[in-house]
Amino acid sequence: MATDVQIAVRKVVSVNPATGAVLREIECASESEVQAAVARARTAQQEWYEAGISKRVAILRRFQHLLHEKKSEIARLITQEAGKPYVEALLTEVLVVLDAAGFLAKNAYGLLRDEAVPHGNLAMKAKAGRIMREPYGVIGIISPWNYPFSIPATESLAALVAGNAVVVKPSELTSLMALELASLLYAAGVPKDVFQVVVGDGATGAALIHSEIDKLIFTGSVQTGKRIAQAAAARLLPVVLELGGKDPMLVLDDADVEVASSGAVWGAFVNAGQACLSVERCYVHRSLYEPFLEACMSKARQLRVGDGMEAETDVGPMIHERQVRNVEAQMEDAMARGARLLIGGARVGRGASNFYAPTVLADVTHEMRIMREETFGPVLPVMAFDQDDEAVRLANDSEYGLAASVWTRDRARGEALAARIHAGTVMVNDTVSCFGISEAPHGGVKASGIGRTHGRFGLEEMVRIKYMGSDRLPGIKKIWWYGYGAAFARQMEGFLDLQFGRGLGRRVRGAMRSAGVYVRKGRV
């Protein structure tokens, strides 16, 4: 007797975090669908590369133009799916991508062209060498929900202009923005098989990792990043891992409290604190501690929490209930260990609201989870210090090392301390905005990841480096080829003295001993 077998179809649901309204349900790409996407990308990649950099740059410029024309529409879509205020979507997502497209269009040719390599070794002077930069082939990108447009876009644009094909797996919470990115790229002229989006959950991401991609760019948690690194190691898959941070802010005794407190409030609460570059630890010199706390508390009180589509909103919702619960758990631990709550510390609204009040905590210590684990929520924990050395030690007392900031009226002093902080980026008198500087590399040290995105170094991550050497005297046997012996050994000793001996006399004697090496007989 025949029976109907129903196969459960996995779906991801895009939800507006401010209202709970379902924006769209999308079926997850299966393992076979991911493999097929990568296979199509591989087939299309060679033609894309052979089209030449001029064509790819022209497409980037068209993409930039189309994005600018649709800037308001794109920003509203970001707000609907990710929750951040509309103006933040414009500034931290659309503006970043527009600038990145401009940077790549302007600089890609110069950064990707062949580079002559001079040869210092006298034995190699008859050779011409150059560095060539070739695309990997197919780049896989697994992108997060907190910046659902700017992160996959900036990474994809760099990969594409270098001649790669790209397959993006977006977060299951913000798939719509990746699909919107695809629409813009197609409209600009990128072939559909050269850029593809595979929507899905963790299983879809795993399928991409285990597919025949040539490199993986991942942005997400340390735990997931470690699992990805282990999986990639099995076949030596190159990876770039941006794994978040616990970024410290150091407010020195000569800092401008009014400016620094505004920087701290924005740095801690932008995107509801859901940024890898958020200020998550704030260390303030004891002489400024109480005035700084008062200023932060006053400014946090003025922030308006609400739907990001409302023009007056400063802080939107957190992305999901589980993110709110993580913040609540860290807050509970901090309060139990003696932290002082100055403002906030609770949800805003009724029931299981995703809105969490901007929160300022005082008297925190490194024994508290909120000073050691990534919070990813609108909490500003503040701790006092007495000496600059102590501040640097506290800043470095973390498994993370993504970014940091130093606040002082003395730029030289700030830069001197910045040099001692273990982080991929350190800003003096600003924070977070480094992500919007297209020329600046983005990435961290320690548990914050491996490799870089953005700028010259981000573009370098999208290519393989090849050295090509060509001999200018192809009809002459090389002096180092076979035909050894005692005489040749003495000649080579002299040759080394000629190049590296100390003193003119030793070098001259070395030249005389090695002179016969060029006409040495008996070479095989």
Residues acting as catalytic residues: 242, 276
DSSP for 479-520 reads TTSS---HHHHHHHHHHHHHHH-SSHHHHHHHHHHHGGGGG-
Residue 381's nearest CA partner among 321, 335, 329, 316 is 335
Which tokens belong to 193? Answer: 């098989």
DSSP state of 193: T
How far apart, in whole angstroms, are the C-alpha atoms of residue 86 and residue 78?
8
Q: Is 262 helix (H, G, I), strand (E, B) or coil?
A: helix
Q: Is 29 helix (H, G, I), strand (E, B) or coil?
A: coil
Cβ contacts of residue 49 below 8 Å, gap of 6+?
135, 163, 164
Is the Cα dihedral 426, 427, 429, 434 positive or negative?
A: negative
Q: Is 326 helix (H, G, I), strand (E, B) or coil?
A: helix
How far apart, in whole angstroms, are the C-alpha atoms of residue 382 and residue 384?
7
How far apart, in whole angstroms, are the C-alpha atoms of residue 317 and residue 340?
24
Contact 129, 117 (CB under 8 A): yes
> In a 10 Å sphere around its CB, with 0-12 CB exposed, 13-18 middle and 19+ buried, how is residue 146 labelled?
buried
* β-pair type (11-15, 22-27): antiparallel
Is the Cα dihedral 409, 413, 417, 419 positive or negative?
A: positive
Instruction: For tokens 């072939």, name the residue.
Output: 191
